[in-house]
Amino acid sequence: MIKLRAPRTLVIALGAAALCATVALATANRATAKDEKAPPRPALSVSTARPATTSLPINLTANGSIAAWQDAVIGSESNGLRLAEVRVNVGDVVKKGQVLAVFADETVRAEIEGARAALLEAQANQQEAKANADRARALESSGALSAQQVTQYVTGEMTAAARVKSAQATLTQQQLRLKYTQVVAPDSGVISARSATVGAVVGVGTELFRMIRQGRLEWRAEVVAQDLGRIKPGARATVRAASGAEIAGKVRTVAPSVDPQTRIALVYVDLPPALSNDTPLKAGMFASGRFELGASNALTVPQQAVAVRDGFSYVFRLNADSRVSQVKVTLGRRLGERVEVVSGVNADMAIVVQGAGFLNDGDLVRNIVATPAPAAARTSAAR
């Protein structure tokens, strides 16, 4: 029987490999035991704060149109005259009594001269009739004139006086026509439309200009019926223009009726006069705004403490074991960097502020207490 003996080098290699495996296994076991004994490491360092009670304004938002407080239609009071001059254009600011347009007045002046001559003639005839009537009354007692003749002279005197008054009325009428050849502004305001054209011959009542009286605008806010009782005349309102500018106004009145189809009523808000072209609000604009209805206390948290995920708002509560719990909340009003929490938190809950956007439910965190600023720094910030 032949015995085979393994080479010496092979035996040595196998022994070394077995020794290495034993050492590696022992090292792994020690590392595993060490890891099991080591505490878990925090995922993030955060800062916390508790919800605070803050006084927040109560606002009611609405939409509506900007319109002129009153539109003044300025028309022609002359008939059959040629428009000789137009002195204003759209956007011009005018004062009460300012001349806006002028009609040709040659025809009217000629008619005034004719009426004045007719008046002088009537006055002369009146003097003659009066003299005749006075003589007739003096001779009436002597019997030189019959009673019928005396009556005729007295009647002639009265007729002549009536003709004087008629001629005077005709002259006054022609003088008014001359006055109406100048179209004047009935009030101060801003010209919003112009249809007057030089050379046109227009009739009485033809619209020449349209004016925003006193430049006053109003916001006609659309408010649902159930909110009307919260708005009172004199309440303050803020209107936001398309440019982003905000203009303060005051509620003038609330419409006495509600649209039966939409159940919406109009609230009229007076706005500052728009007497310049750089005013952010123009008649015909659509604008949003809000009514200021007072203030109330609310539980608020910093804006950065709120994390929005999947369309919902959450905050993270710091538990006693330094882990966080994700809490769904309902938000309300906002004021600066703070936001009202309507439901989901209470005043004693520690809420993660800095780092809330990077956390997940159950994460282990390290809470860093914010150190108060030095007195000098606080004084400077207050200033």
For the cut 90, the answer to whether the pLDDT of residue 238 exceeds it is yes
pLDDT-derived band at 7 (thresholds 50, 70, 90) equals low
pLDDT of residue 242: 84
pLDDT-derived band at 373 (thresholds 50, 70, 90) equals very low
pLDDT of residue 374: 43
Alpha-carbon separation of residue 201 from 74, 77, 89, 178, 193 (angstroms):
16, 12, 19, 16, 19
The average pLDDT across 34-46 equals 67
Q: Could you report the per-residue pLDDT of 171-203, keeping only the tens digit for each?
A: 999 999 999 999 999 999 999 999 999 999 988
% residues pLDDT > 90 (the chain): 47
pLDDT of residue 224: 92
Q: Could you report the per-residue pLDDT of 346-365, keeping only the tens digit for each?
A: 888 999 998 888 888 888 88
> Which residues neighbour 45 within 8 Å (Cβ) at sequence distance 6 or greater?
355, 365, 366, 367, 368
pLDDT-derived band at 376 (thresholds 50, 70, 90) equals very low
User: Which domains can be identified in the chain, with CATH numbers?
Assistant: 44-55+296-382 (2.40.420.20), 60-69+214-295 (2.40.30.170), 74-104+181-213 (2.40.50.100), 105-180 (1.10.287)
For the cut 50, the answer to whether the pLDDT of residue 377 exceeds it is no
Encoding tokens for residue 200?
């046109």
pLDDT-derived band at 207 (thresholds 50, 70, 90) equals very high
pLDDT of residue 10: 52
For the cut 80, the answer to whether the pLDDT of residue 34 exceeds it is no
CB 106 within 8 A of CB 155: no
What's the chain look like in SS3?
Answer: CCCCCCCHHHHHHHHHHHHHHHHHHHHHHHHHHHHHHCCCCCCEEEEEECCEEEEEEEEEEEEEEEEECCEEEEECCCCCEEEEEECCCCCCEECCCCEEEEECCHHHHHHHHHHHHHHHHHHHHHHHHHHHHHHHHHHCCCCCCCHHHHHHHHHHHHHHHHHHHHHHHHHHHHHHHHHHCEEECCCCEEEEEECCCCCCEECCCCEEEEEEECCCEEEEEEEEHHHHHHCCCCCEEEEECCCCCEEEEEEEEECCCCCCCCCEEEEEEECCCCCCCCCCCCCCCEEEEEEEEEEEEEEEEEHHHCEEECCEEEEEEECCCCEEEEEEEEEEEEECCEEEEEECCCCCCCEEEECHHHCCCCCEEEECCCCCCCHHHHHHHHC
The average pLDDT across 206-214 equals 93
The average pLDDT across 23-30 equals 55
pLDDT of residue 293: 87
pLDDT of residue 378: 40
The average pLDDT across 290-294 equals 89
For the cut 70, the answer to whether the pLDDT of residue 31 exceeds it is no
Q: Could you report the per-residue pLDDT of 84-142, keeping only the tens digit for each?
A: 999 999 989 999 999 999 999 999 999 999 999 999 999 999 999 999 888 888 877 77
pLDDT of residue 380: 40
pLDDT of residue 94: 93
pLDDT of residue 166: 94
Q: Could you report the per-residue pLDDT of 42-69, keeping only the tens digit for each?
A: 778 888 888 988 888 888 999 999 999 9
Strands 365-367 and 44-49, how do they pair?
parallel
> Which residues neighbour 78 within 8 Å (Cβ) at sequence distance 6 or greater?
103, 108, 177, 180, 181, 202, 204
Arithmetic mean of pLDDT over the chain: 84
| Least confident residue range of 26-35, 83-92, 116-125, 217-226 | 26-35
The average pLDDT across 131-158 equals 83
pLDDT of residue 273: 85
